[in-house]
Amino acid sequence: MTAAAFTDSSAVLLMAPEDNCVIARTALACGACILIDGAPVVLAQDIAIGHKVARMALAVGDKVLRYGAIIGSVTQPIGIGEHIHTHNLASDYIPTFTLGQDGHHFLDKEGAK
């Protein structure tokens, strides 16, 4: 592989140290070589800006962490440097809660305690 095949080392962004994915800071082309945790990884597909890239190999059922929080479960094996999106990730969203006016109770999105 030639040096010209490497993409800028800032092509991906790690949002939190415990995350198992990084975020594409620019559109990444299939065949581009990026650095993930200092190791060169050749991309097997195009990855759009803002999309997730596997930081490590993930097995079916593994939880994907972004911002240090679980965002979904892997539905098919994902290799390091592969695109993580709806084709291989099922959402694990939990209900959204906000602090009630009394400052003590959490309300679900319908306003129930």
Q: Report the chain (113 residues): mean pLDDT per 10 consecutive residues.
A: 57 96 96 94 96 98 95 95 93 61 54 47
Note down the domain range covering 39: 3-107
Instruction: Report the CATH number that the domain containing residue 75 is assigned in CATH.
Output: 2.30.130.110
What pLDDT was estimated at residue 86? 87
Per-residue model confidence (pLDDT) at position 4: 36
Q: Cβ(60)–Cβ(77) under 8 Å?
A: yes
Instruction: Indicate the number of domains in the chain.
Output: 1
Instruction: Count other Cβ atoms within 10 Å, centred on residue 46.
Output: 14
Q: What's the pLDDT at 32? A: 95
Q: Is residue 112 domain-resident?
A: no
Residue 113 lies in a domain: no
pTM: 0.75
The per-residue pLDDT for 112 is 47
CA distance 39 to 101: 49
pLDDT at 41: 95
